[in-house]
């Protein structure tokens, strides 16, 4: 099975309600329609079963997402440890990450569906703290 790999393009935060900001990463899913459609599927069918994991090698932190229902899908996002360490710690603290799959400039007006998944914050924090040579 081939797992789509995306590079974290932009990082930031999405305002969920008047006082809750959620860590958000922008990924280009234009070449992966199955990943592009996940937010819609989850909005219609419900969140389902999602698991995440993280691996760190040198300056790269891979955050993997596996969905087993309502559909089966896997993908991973590569982050730079050096550039995104603080953001990834925020993700671990929040226990959640939003994957922005459309233009962020018009998100406030367009209100697109983005995929939000629970993140195993403890496991992510342990991965970030690993001593990598």
* CA-closest candidate to residue 64, choices 130, 5, 13: 5
List the pLDDT tens digit at each of the 133 positions of the chain: 688 999 999 999 988 778 888 999 999 999 998 888 888 887 788 777 889 999 999 999 999 999 888 888 899 999 999 999 999 999 999 999 999 887 666 666 666 678 889 999 999 999 999 876 5
pTM score, whole prediction: 0.88
- pLDDT score at 7: 96
Query: From its phi and psi, is residue 22 left (phi > 0), alpha (psi between -120 and 50) or beta?
Result: beta
- pLDDT score at 106: 65
- pLDDT score at 107: 62
83-98 residue pLDDT tens: 999 999 999 999 999 9
Beta bridge partners of 14: 22
- pLDDT score at 46: 73
Query: From its phi and psi, is residue 48 left (phi > 0), alpha (psi between -120 and 50) or beta?
Result: left
Report the chain's terminal Cα–Cα distance, integer Å. Answer: 29
């Amino acid at each position: 099975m081939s797992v789509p790999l995306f590079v974290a393009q932009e990082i930031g935060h999405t305002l969920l309600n008047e006082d809750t900001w959620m860590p958000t990463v922008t990924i280009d899913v234009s070449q992966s329609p199955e990943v592009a459609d996940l937010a819609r599927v989850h909005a219609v069918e419900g969140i389902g079963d999602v698991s995440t994991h993280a691996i760190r090698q040198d300056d790269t932190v891979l955050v993997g997402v596996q969905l087993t229902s309502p559909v089966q899908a896997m993908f991973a996002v590569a982050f730079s440890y050096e550039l995104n360490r603080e953001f990834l710690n925020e993700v671990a603290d929040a226990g959640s990450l939003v994957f922005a799959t459309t233009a962020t400039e018009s998100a406030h007006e367009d209100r697109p569906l983005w995929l939000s998944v629970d993140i195993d914050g403890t496991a992510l924090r342990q991965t970030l703290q690993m001593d990598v040579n």
